[in-house]
Amino acid sequence: MKILISPYSQKLPDKKRNPKDFPYWEKTISLIKNKLPQAEIVQVGTNEEIPIKGITNLAHNYTPENLLKLTRTCNAWMSVDNFFQHFCTYYKVPNGIVIFGQSDPNIFGYPCNTNLLKNRNYLRQDQFLHWWHESVSYKEEVFVNAETVTETLFKVLKVD
């Protein structure tokens, strides 16, 4: 079983943590490995991104063609609100889970994916304001927990 993760959104110009970045990847991967020890978890992204502890492989700086080939081999994929969810949706890669925090999945998500949002009260006032605007800050509490993500993944994969 192969699961792709795209854990980061684009780096901000001021080098602050992107408010879209899910803080519980390490625990999520640990929970997946506890239930599916043979699962291959591949982190996709860029060379600038820090590998998440527990992943099996890195797929950094892939060309769009190679990234598409990789997605065609996965059983499921998970990402934050970033390029990868749009890429996978465009190419109709099934079994997608997208983790939202302050951005609105009703605007930026797709109904063909499973969009996880903890609470609409955490959404930013101005959804179209740049993420590096001074009024936007990183807030860990806006995200669903690792258990919610893994339970959702297991439902998508039909794993008991």
Tokens of 87: 């890429």
Contacts of 109 (CB under 8 A, 6+ apart): 81, 85, 98, 100, 115
Tokens 């600038």, residue located: 48
The low-confidence residues of the chain, meaning pLDDT below 50, are: none
SS3 assignment, position 50? coil
So where are the chain's domains?
2-157
Residue 71: what pLDDT?
A: 98
Q: Taking the alpha carbons of 13, 19, 24, 25 in that order, is the dihedral positive or negative?
A: negative
What integer pLDDT is reported at residue 150 of this predicted model? Answer: 99
What pLDDT was estimated at residue 131?
A: 74
pLDDT at 132: 67
Please, what is the end-to-end C-alpha distance for the chain in angstroms? Answer: 15
Per the DSSP assignment, residues forming a β-bridge with 5 are: 43, 78
The answer to whether 138 and 18 are in contact (CB under 8 A) is yes
Fold of 2-157: Rossmann fold (3.40.50)
Whether the CB-CB separation of 52 and 29 falls below 8 Å is answered with yes
- Rounded to whole angstroms, the Cα distance separating 90 from 143 reads 25
